[in-house]
Structures are given as structure tokens and as C-alpha cells.
Structure 1
């Protein structure tokens, strides 16, 4: 019999009481709006709702954002132990994600955040609010759309186990050890992924550099170059044709704009010089994404696709006015030098790059599967540990 079982036998012989968040709360309130341009590097610590999804997990003791509180109308403050819920999100599965603040500063809660104050162990509440059972409660009745909302009342109605504080503390101690071990494994696996990616980039650069001293031709001389006319909001969940935007994700539309073999790349945003697609057939294209249709039979489209992926980012970084490239201008594409090598050499390059990419992706996928398995294992034991016999 472990310590938790002993404590349960002694303190909860008839089971653990389950309560709603509203019943255990001493105070519940919504935060006040903080605009993006109001966030500063110094001032009063604050949390905006998006940071609960992207930055904070079970608990945190310091804020990454700050604000001049004199600029905030009716600021809402939170402190040690308070639970923060993000009541706006982009997915039904993750709506109302929560975390516990365990720092000592007085902080401001941004809009679309619900703050719950209480007298329980904050990390225990944060762990139990992340279980599959509670996540199902959070998403119940929500409709899938681009923006998903929860309410203060839906937070109040969440039902969770509330064992005595010493049992809560023991659960937190065990889960903290599990969580620490998970993060250590995760870091090692992430490092392994980075090594594989660096290894791929090394050989990619080495292979593409083999064409450094050959004659070149400008891309504009061998290709039609242009942009699409579609907008992101025209995508459909299950359209008839691929719809290329400015990300690695391929979306769908019911109308097509082009019917050809082409290389697609992002015209602006974070994917500049990093996002490439190869397409054969009918497709739609975003108005800020470029299509490159090779019309010269001396250059294989697949060769150009692989060569561009390997060399285009260094090329635009070298030729840009700013160190960080945020957009591509048409002359950058027009003047991109393409090596004029034999079709046999092109086919060899295609084969080598395709095999290298496939092998690298297979290795990375195996590592990702291991990461997923470790997270599932952690979540299984976390949920088991946080499942108590209900009070009779």
C-alpha cells in the first residue's frame, strides 16, 4: 500500500468528495483587456490569454509580459496560487486551458482570462484540471469553429475531486517527479531531432554546392513566375483541389486557378525561404504565395524544387537589405541563378536528395512517435493518480 492509499484509507474511508470549481472558489473574475501594443519589457507583470496556450503549462512563477498598469482600464490582479483559464481559443479540445501561478508578484490578467481564487493546493488543481475527464467537461457542448469560447459559468460547473490537502500535496509531489522526468526525456528527444535536421542540412548544402562552379541561367528565363488570387478565408474543410497558402499546411478549395507542374513558395511571413511545395495538376494559390512553372525542358521541375529548397534561403538572405527577410520581391525570384547541368546530373541530384530527405523524415518520425508515446504514458498515469473513489 502506497502513501496515498494509506492517507485515503485513514482520511477518506468513504471516498473523496467531488465538487464544482464554483463550490471551491473564494472568488472568480474575468481579466481586463490588454492590447498587443500595450505590452512592454518592464512594468507590472501580466498574462494575455494566448500565452496560456503557448507559454505556460501546469504552473509558472514569473510572467514573460509586462504592462504599464496606468494604461489599463480597471486592471484585474491575480497572485500566488490563483488558477488562470483561457476562455477563448482555436480548438474545442484545448478550450479553457488552465495553469497555476505560484510566483510572488502582483500580476494583471488580460481579457478572455478567468481567474479562480481558492484555498486548495494550486498545483493539484492545475494537474486535475488538465486530465482527460476535465478536458471533456471543458469541451462539452462547444462547436468546432475558427474561434471557440467558454464562459465563466462553464468554468464554475467543472466537477473535480477535492481530497484533503495532505493528499493533494502527496499527489503533487509524485506528479512533479513524473513531469520532471518527462521533460528530461523530451529534451533529449528534441536534441536528437535537431541533430538529425542539422545532419540533413549539412549534406543538403554539400550536394547543392557541387554546382557552385557551373554556368547558370536566371530563373526568369526558364520559368513563368506569378502569384495566386485566393485568400485564406476561402478555404474549405474538404474542397476538391489543393489550396497553397503561406504555410507548410496544404488547404482545400472547390475552385482551381492553375493546372500545371509548379513549385510553390511563400511570398511573405515567417515561412519566407523555408516553405516549398511541389504540385502537379490543378490547384489554387494564395495571393501572397508564388508559383514557379518551369517551361524549359533543359531543367527538370523536380531538380529545381530540390535545388531551390537547398539554396533559396541563403540566396535571399545574402541579397536582402535587412538581415531578417520578411517578404520576397519579384526581382529576387527573377534573378535567382539556376545551374545548367545535364539531365543525368539533375536526376542523380534528385535521387540523392529524395533519399536523404526520406531517411531523415523516417528517423524524425520515429523520434516523434517516441515523444508521443512518452506523453501518453505520462497522461495515463497522471489521470490514474487523479482518479479517486467518489464519496458514498
Structure 2
């Protein structure tokens, strides 16, 4: 299915006029910029805007657990998940996933896995991504139970890779390569049952 087909809502954000103090001064609303989109989970933002900015500009609230894809410049193609409700600038494409069809974290992993494919879709002098091209990106959509198993396996490997207290740098590098290997196999579904069994066993042993 395409990303557009599995989303409840897709929108971009907006950047309130920088010179207007009423849009930023004493702002409390989290406002995400593309440089903060780095294949991560967003729990806070560096910048904030005001209620007035939301009312008077194209900046808008999005719910937690959207898949956010940067669509402009050097950041284009990178993705993230917002763990808090927030607003974004206009260079973020925000996808609210239909939970009856897909698990948001599974979609995140699929988009992350197709980063190079997204880079190939960049166009123009600045290397921007067209929103319609992102929405037309196809990902495999197995049952929700299979998606959840894949997410659990990849989350376990991700936790191991992210824990800087585990082992020596060489061991951490080996874990990253192992994670990438299983991620690619899982998302290619070849063969799914065998891969899930191997990856789950490997994750539990660690």
C-alpha cells in the first residue's frame, strides 16, 4: 500500500513570521524544525510558538505518534516520530497513521528503510521532496500482529545499539550491522516466518 493509503491525515506545518514577536514571545507550544528530524523519537523541541501563531498562521497541531518526514534541503528524506502533540514548520510532512491498517512505528521503520529511495526522489536546486511523491511511496502491509512483532524485534535491537554502556565500540558496531541485516530481511519479508524466528531468538539471547 502507499503511505497515502494508510494515513488518516497528512499535512505540512508552517513557519510564523520571524519578525512578529506575538508569534514567538513566551510561546509554550512545541514547534519542530527539520534539523531535529534525525530518525528519532521527538519528546521535546528546541523552539516554541504561541497560541496566536497557531490561530493566525498555517502552523497547526498534530497528534502524538505521527510519522514526520523532512521534505526540504539537506534534511530531506529523514524521518521521526513525535511522542508528544506539537506543531512543525512547513518543511515537515506529517502523517497520522490509520491504526486499523498499520502500526505507526512499523511505518516509521519502513520509511527509514527506504531513505535512499526517498533521496532519489529529490528535485530542484535545493533537493526538495514533493509531498505527492512521499505519499505514493509503497510499503508492505502485513497483518497488525506481524507488524507488532517486527516492531518489537527492531526496538530490541535499537535499544541495544543505543546503549552506550554496552561493550566496546567494536561490539556496538557489530550490533548495528546485525540490526541493519535483520531490518532489511524483515522488511523484505523473505521469508518472513524464518526471519522473525531467527531475529526473536537472537534478540532474546542478548
Task: Tell me the TM-score range normalised by the shorter chain.
Answer: 0.7 to 0.9
**Structure 1 spans left out of the alignment, 5+ residues:** 1-18, 193-366
- 1:42-191 correspondence to structure 2 within 5 Å: 43-53=28-38, 57-72=39-54, 73-90=57-74, 95-103=76-84, 106-119=85-98, 120-131=102-113, 134-142=114-122, 147-184=126-163, 186-187=164-165
Instruction: Please say if residues 34 and 48 of structure 1, whose CA atoms lie closer than 8 Å, have aligned partners that are also in contact.
Output: no
So what's the TM-score if we normalise by structure 2?
0.75
1:373 deviation in Å? 4.6
1:69 deviation in Å? 2.9
How large is the RMSD of aligned CA atoms in angstroms? 2.9
Instruction: Please say if residues 160 and 166 of structure 2, whose CA atoms lie closer than 8 Å, have aligned partners that are also in contact.
Output: no
Equivalent position of 1:31 in the other structure:
13
Q: Which has the higher strand share?
A: 1
Equivalent position of 1:277 in the other structure:
none
Residue by residue over 1:110-164, the C-alpha shift from the partner in whole angstroms, topping out at 9 and shown as x without a partner, is 1211111121211111111111xx123201243696x321011111111111111
After the TM superposition, which segments of 4 or more aligned residues of structure 1 sit over 4 Å from their partners?
34-42, 369-373
How many pairs does the alignment contain?
Answer: 183
Looking at both structures, which has the greater relative contact order when contacts are Cα pairs under 8 Å and sequence separation is at least 6? 2
Equivalent position of 2:200 in the other structure:
none
- Whose Rg is larger? 1
So what's the TM-score if we normalise by structure 1?
0.42
For 2:26 and 2:188, the matched residues in 1 are separated by 42
For 1:40 and 1:384, the matched residues in 2 are separated by 48
Residue by residue over 1:8-56, the C-alpha shift from the partner in whole angstroms, topping out at 9 and shown as x without a partner, is xxxxxxxxxxx11111122211111146786567501221111113xxx
**Structure 2 spans left out of the alignment, 5+ residues:** 192-206
